[in-house]
Amino acid sequence: MKRRSAMFVVGRVLAIPLFKFMYHYKVKGKKNLPKKGAYIVCCNHLSNMDPPLLSVTQKRQLYYMAKAELFEKKFFAWVIRTLGAFPVHRGAGDNKAIEQAEEVVKDGRLLGIFIEGTRSKTGEFLRPKSGASIIAYQTQTPVIPVCITPKNKKVRKFQKVIISWGKPMSIEELGLLNGTPEEYRSASRKIMAEIKKMRQRDLLELYKGKLPPEASAPEAEETETTVTETAASGQDNN
């Protein structure tokens, strides 16, 4: 499979100036993403604009899970497939989607997973899912944490947003030695902790050195590890 589709290349070129104008985005840590090799990109999820925002901030194409309902219309299905999406049936263990996700990283590409499993409607962090950790262990693939931080909690037009790319986290750093549920939960917490660190740093920049009240909100409770969770940790466009 090609590393980048023609539609992705053309779309990205056209989208960069448009997104720069509409979202006033700033990128940090872009060099943390290696030019080659398989990685699982784990990001928080705030809006339907998250996938294109990640795509315009670096040159490699990301491949995402997206809810199966988005593939019901043939033309739209063709478009999003070309851009790197593949369907997942949420709420049940979708082995085909999991196998496809594993195939992406085994082929040396980038797999994008929104670690919270769904969009945050409030802008606050949600409970991290363990799907990314499961795939990371099963494929022995490093994880790159990414944080999208907008001002005033939500990604809106003409409002500054910072996209920060963290350093790759190895399987050893994540503590994924035996593939147990406890290790998956612990690894998910570690990934989320890195995302939260970037969020606090970027909020300081957005608010000129003073953290807003929500930055000190308590952490969300962790979820149970299930195979279904793996399939639910992709893109959600509800």
Q: Are the CB atoms for 166 and 195 separated by under 8 Å?
A: yes
Strands 25-28 and 143-150, by their bridges, are: unpaired
CA proximity to 105, closest of 160, 143, 58: 143
pTM of the model: 0.85
Range in 65-79, 151-165, 193-207 the model is least confident about: 65-79
Q: What is the pLDDT of residue 210?
A: 80
Q: What is the pLDDT of residue 235?
A: 54
Report the Cα–Cα distance between both ends of the chain, in Å, rounded: 29
pLDDT bin (cut points 50, 70, 90) of residue 230 is very low
Rounded to the nearest 5 degrees, what angle is found at the Cα of 48, between the Cα atoms of 135 and 9? 75
Q: What is the pLDDT of residue 231?
A: 44
pLDDT tens-digit profile of 81-93? 777 888 877 655 5
Q: What is the pLDDT of residue 92?
A: 56
Q: Are the CB atoms for 124 and 214 separated by under 8 Å?
A: yes
CA proximity to 6, closest of 86, 83, 87: 83
pLDDT bin (cut points 50, 70, 90) of residue 49 is confident
pLDDT tens-digit profile of 92-125? 556 788 888 999 999 999 999 999 988 899 999 9
Per-residue tokens: 137: 């262990």
